[in-house]
Structure 1
Amino acid sequence: MRVASGSLQGSVPGSEDAAGAQPVASTARSFGQNTMPLSPLRLRFLVASLLTVSFLGALDHTVVSTSLATIAGELGALELMGWVVVGYTLASTVLLPVLGKLGDVLGPRRVFLVSLLLFLVASLACGFAQDMTWLVVSRVVQGMSSAGLQLMSQTIIAKVTTPRERPRYMAIIGAAFPIAILVGPVLGGAITDYWGWSWVFWINIPVGLVALAFAFVAVPRLGRGVIPRHYDVAGAAAFTLGLVSLVIGVTWASERSGGVQAVAALVVAAIALFAFFVIEVRAPEPMVPLRFFANRTIAAGTALSAIIGVGLFSITAYLPTFFQMAYQVSATVSGLVPIATVLGMLVSNLVTGWLASRTGRYRIFPIIGTCMGAAGLFLMAGLPGGLPLWVPMLVMAVVGMGTGSFMSLIVAVVQSAAPDNQTGAITASINLARQVGSTIATAIIGGSIAFGVARLLPAGLDPASLTPHAVHQASAATQGTVAEIYGQVFTPIFIALATTYAIGIIAALLLPHGRLSDEPHTATPEPAESLSA
């Protein structure tokens, strides 16, 4: 049995045109089921519009972090503070496959514009919040709409570019995330200090309205898919229940505070996710097209996307704490390490996107990138204490460069291996793998740090009150003890993450050889390969 990937004739090996259709001329770009020319000027305008909107969605995930304490204090609900972030993240993750399917059915332009309008309304509601419950609900809506912005931006780019062009433009859109990581916390703190925390959300309104006006003009009316006779409501419900239960269960289990509740949540997650798998296999119109994961390109690309979430995104938030404790540096200085990591990611993301579009070659970049990530994290695990801070900064910059070299590229490659009428669903699946991996790994790492430090601390040191400021004011002996403890706790974490990247090397090697084509939704494989049984 030959596994076909739909409307592509080998944009990457392992895919072919099931209908046997000839590729259209390279002078036109395919819009869904229609083909129409798109001028270079309009394409640049479109990319600028999508980048602005993607940056808004990514920024809203990072800009709130520095204002959380102020928000919780003014609204008087410290115990709900974490849900301002968790609600946003969970909503944006859970809605990915649903929005991907809607984009394929209704057209990505409609989903994109509705998501942008909903995002602006939710931002307005967040700023007017009178209590924490109001804010959390508004943040959930914001997360849902943010998922639509990020996902449809990538889907629209896939619809209006050839496989050869796609990595360059996808890298530009993907640059929104690392830029948001760099400027978000600083911007959020400055807005909170000078304007008030409400403007952390309201700043989206003027920028978003301009982006909305651009989007109405720039985003073309893309072809709609066939309206399904049956919507996969059962699959969506099972997936939502399974993912929410999984995140809650892993969080409780990693904190060693959930007990029976954690076990119950994990059992519910296992049952719901198993039911989701069964539903998707049998559904006539599945929300997640599992059959396409028999394609080697899609399977390997999805694994690589998950490895990015597990291997790097999960540890970034904990790096400042590690360096404040293990290297005895201030909070400001400790932020230099994640900044170096993200800068490396940003630069390599843009460079490899340009190179892949210029040469058509893509396989070498994830191979080199996963090797760099594995080597850098193994080196982090073995760095002795007392080194100047520029050493781990350089090492983590290498990890960031390795990750960025295939972060956006792998999305473009997987899109090229999928049929045109499933672009949204496949794009959602690869993003979903990354976000779920990051969410679960972040919870596990956080719980491991808390448990490990508490277990190793000598008598007389209370882990609940062990802040970087308190440690820096303690005796030299205490500082040395704490530094050694954090080194012991983080070493196996770095080793585990390095092993994740080492597994990624295998996934990268499994990518078929091929060259991205100048033809819309086609490529010239070298040699042509497809999975067969």
Structure 2
Amino acid sequence: MSESLPNTEPGWDEIPRLKIIIAAVACCLFLASMGNTIVTTAMPLIVSDLGGLEHISWVVTAYLLATTMAAPVAGKLGDMFGRKIVLQIAIGVFIIGGMICGLSQSMSMLVGGRLVQGLGGGALLVVSMAVVADILPPRKRSSVQGAFGAVFGISTVIGPLVGGFVVEVLNWHWIFFLPVPVAMLAATVLTIALESPEQKPHTIDFAGAGLLAVLLSSIIVVANIGGTMVPWASTPVYLLMGTIPVALVFFILVERRAAEPVLPMMLFRINNFVVSNVVGFCVGVCMFGTIAFLPMLLQVVKGLDPVESGLYQIPMMLALFGTGFTTGRFITATGRYKILPTISTGVLCVGTLLMTTVTRETPNWLIVIYVMLIGVGIGPVMTVNITAIQNSIPRSFMGVGTASANMFRQIGGSLGTSVYGAIFAAGLVTHLHGMLPAGFSGAVTTQTIAALPVEMQGAALDAFAAALRPTYLVSAIAAGIAFLVSLRMIENPLADTLAPVEPVRRQTPAE
């Protein structure tokens, strides 16, 4: 059950408090989002200090895995016990995880700390968005959610830059210590500003939460280790892939009988809940795939260094979060949102199709335009999905409904990146057949191609670009599916006042 707040439009005396709350939850969102990217530039120094090169990818994967698992559970707990207590606990867990990371003397300790930090970060990402739904009416909350999207984007872009700066000035341990004062300040502000709801007895769905954790972790882990850490045709991958359908079936059975399910099945009977999450899943495929493979294209095919290739992501991010923010303002001003995901996913489809035409002769400025189109296609969807979901579900399910948007987008991103990797690897073997030395294994880099005879280097670059094209074609297909599904969205009117918070209804086994 959410916080005890007026069910009418807030008066002038409430506005300063609301602004303080919004600023505090924006800080939470910023910290949780930046926690995923700030370590990337510090990886080489971490490995040289701690060793454990074989575990380095888990520093990122552990955080992603934990945030994905924590989001729906934290959203449900916020619905049951209030956002305030869940945010307080989440900030505490995030700080503890960061301290473990900062004090790490081994790679295994660092990965464990990242897992703990990710549990707190996942809860912060979701509950921060749900707080907005508690304090602002539907018509007004869109502009704030659009601004939150900009916060999310800024943190994604500057995370690696901040990490690099801290590593140069201090050392890598401080990238985990520096967020602590900000997190403590946000916790203090939220403790003072947020009200606590009247506590009522609840039944926690431990079985559902456990099965959901198994399901999500199996999906995320198999998507991240398959074809990279272990071959696809291996026992660990087979076991994980076999676990997914079993966990899904048992999860559905348990949720249909739970008194207060962690992810109520009745939500899947709500049109906009399903439409928004399917669109979010497809857009996640496009977004994370583009982010993962664009630097590779620019470095190998276009010959840019890593810093330059990173800078080419900024136009996409600026377009993404600029359109997300503008979308929020548009929704607040007009109350309209149905057409926005249809237009944006159409633009996304065009942008990804244009990326399939990129060769080594394509001008760099044209690539910038293409990736900006992709950003324009992604940005509005993130804002509209949250708006459509929150405006179509009961307020007592606001936390878990908001969490679903993050969960399906993350799953789409993880699966998309994994599928892209498999497609690209297979295409590279085909297109580079006969060009590489016999027995060659490992990643194809600019150094690999530079070591080839001069007369073969151009063909090798063309082959590399050709191997990447199918990944963008898959993105275009995913965007096309999102476009078609978005046509099914229903534009429910956005109210100018907060609706009453109905009691959390216990479902019967028949539901």
In the alignment, structure 1 residue 100 sits paired with structure 2 residue 75: yes
* Partner Cα distance (1:340, 1:390) in 2: 11
- % same residue: 27
Kindly provide the CA deviation profile for residues 21-78 of structure 1, in whole angstroms up to 9, marking residues without a partner as x. xxx874348xxxxxxx862222222211111111111111001011112112211211
Pairwise CA distance, 1:291: 0.8
Q: Secondary structure at the match of 2:56?
A: helix
| C-alpha spacing 1:227/1:311, structure 2 compared with 1 (3 Å) | farther
User: What does residue 276 of structure 2 align with?
Assistant: 301
| C-alpha spacing 1:108/1:398, structure 2 compared with 1 (3 Å) | same
* Partner Cα distance (2:464, 2:377) in 1: 26
Paired amino acid for 2:142: P
| C-alpha spacing 1:80/1:224, structure 2 compared with 1 (3 Å) | farther
Pairwise CA distance, 1:172: 1.4
Are the equivalent residues in 1 in contact too, given 2:391–2:492 (CA < 8 A)? no
Paired amino acid for 1:415: Q
Are the equivalent residues in 2 in contact too, given 1:100–1:426 (CA < 8 A)? yes
Q: Identify the match of residue 233 of structure 2 among 259, 262, 271.
A: 259
In the alignment, structure 1 residue 477 sits paired with structure 2 residue 455: yes
In the alignment, structure 1 residue 67 sits paired with structure 2 residue 42: yes
Pairwise CA distance, 1:125: 1.7
* Partner Cα distance (2:290, 2:251) in 1: 29
User: What does residue 363 of structure 2 align with?
Assistant: 388
Paired amino acid for 1:399: I
Pairwise CA distance, 1:353: 0.5
Q: Which has the larger displacement, 404-413 or 447-456?
A: 447-456
| C-alpha spacing 1:188/1:403, structure 2 compared with 1 (3 Å) | same
| C-alpha spacing 1:516/1:475, structure 2 compared with 1 (3 Å) | farther
In the alignment, structure 1 residue 427 sits paired with structure 2 residue 402: yes
Aligned residues: 492
Per the normalisation by structure 1, the TM-score is 0.87
Paired amino acid for 1:245: S
Are the equivalent residues in 1 in contact too, given 2:320–2:375 (CA < 8 A)? yes
In the alignment, structure 1 residue 237 sits paired with structure 2 residue 210: yes
Are the equivalent residues in 1 in contact too, given 2:34–2:155 (CA < 8 A)? yes
Q: Identify the match of residue 516 of structure 1 among 487, 494, 498.
A: 494
Paired amino acid for 2:144: Y
5 Å-filtered alignment, 1:316-465, equals: 316-457=291-432, 458-461=434-437, 462-464=440-442
Pairwise CA distance, 1:208: 1.9
* Partner Cα distance (1:509, 1:280) in 2: 29
User: What does residue 27 of structure 1 align with?
Assistant: 9
Pairwise CA distance, 1:183: 0.7
User: What does residue 471 of structure 2 align with?
Assistant: 493
Paired amino acid for 1:211: A
Are the equivalent residues in 2 in contact too, given 1:251–1:444 (CA < 8 A)? no
User: What does residue 509 of structure 2 align with?
Assistant: none
Kindly provide the CA deviation profile for residues 220-256 of structure 1, in whole angstroms up to 9, marking residues without a partner as x. 214357532x322111222222222233334454447
User: What does residue 506 of structure 2 align with?
Assistant: none
Q: Secondary structure at the match of 2:159?
A: helix
Kindly provide the CA deviation profile for residues 430-465 of structure 1, in whole angstroms up to 9, marking residues without a partner as x. 211111111121122223323432343234343525
5 Å-filtered alignment, 1:105-116, equals: 105-116=80-91
* Partner Cα distance (2:78, 2:389) in 1: 17
Q: Secondary structure at the match of 1:519?
A: coil
Pairwise CA distance, 1:336: 3.0
* Partner Cα distance (1:479, 1:186) in 2: 33
User: What does residue 246 of structure 1 align with?
Assistant: 219
Are the equivalent residues in 2 in contact too, given 1:239–1:272 (CA < 8 A)? yes
* Partner Cα distance (1:380, 1:478) in 2: 24
Are the equivalent residues in 1 in contact too, given 2:72–2:263 (CA < 8 A)? yes
Q: Which has the larger displacement, 429-438 or 511-520?
A: 511-520
Q: Identify the match of residue 503 of structure 1 among 457, 469, 481.
A: 481
Q: Which runs of 5+ in 2 are unaligned?
A: 501-511
Are the equivalent residues in 1 in contact too, given 2:431–2:464 (CA < 8 A)? no
* Partner Cα distance (2:92, 2:198) in 1: 21
User: What does residue 221 of structure 1 align with?
Assistant: 195
Are the equivalent residues in 1 in contact too, given 2:344–2:380 (CA < 8 A)? yes
* Partner Cα distance (1:368, 1:432) in 2: 23
User: What does residue 507 of structure 2 align with?
Assistant: none
Q: Which has the larger displacement, 450-459 or 128-137?
A: 450-459
User: What does residue 21 of structure 1 align with?
Assistant: none
Q: Secondary structure at the match of 1:259?
A: coil
* Partner Cα distance (2:450, 2:299) in 1: 9
Q: Which has the larger displacement, 316-325 or 153-162?
A: 316-325
Q: Secondary structure at the match of 1:95?
A: helix
User: What does residue 131 of structure 2 align with?
Assistant: 156
* Partner Cα distance (2:99, 2:184) in 1: 12
Paired amino acid for 2:122: A
Pairwise CA distance, 1:382: 2.3
Kindly provide the CA deviation profile for residues 349-390 of structure 1, in whole angstroms up to 9, marking residues without a partner as x. 111101111111111211111111011101111234402111
| C-alpha spacing 1:486/1:515, structure 2 compared with 1 (3 Å) | farther
* Partner Cα distance (2:481, 2:132) in 1: 30
* Partner Cα distance (1:272, 1:478) in 2: 50
Are the equivalent residues in 1 in contact too, given 2:327–2:383 (CA < 8 A)? no
| C-alpha spacing 1:386/1:295, structure 2 compared with 1 (3 Å) | same
User: What does residue 505 of structure 2 align with?
Assistant: none
Q: Which has the larger displacement, 86-95 or 253-262?
A: 253-262
- Cα RMSD for the two superposed structures: 2.2
Are the equivalent residues in 1 in contact too, given 2:319–2:372 (CA < 8 A)? yes
Per the normalisation by structure 2, the TM-score is 0.91
Q: Secondary structure at the match of 1:498?
A: helix
| C-alpha spacing 1:335/1:483, structure 2 compared with 1 (3 Å) | same
* Partner Cα distance (2:498, 2:364) in 1: 47
* Partner Cα distance (2:443, 2:473) in 1: 28
Are the equivalent residues in 2 in contact too, given 1:341–1:396 (CA < 8 A)? yes
Paired amino acid for 2:436: G
| C-alpha spacing 1:40/1:475, structure 2 compared with 1 (3 Å) | farther
* Partner Cα distance (2:198, 2:302) in 1: 55
| C-alpha spacing 1:464/1:244, structure 2 compared with 1 (3 Å) | same
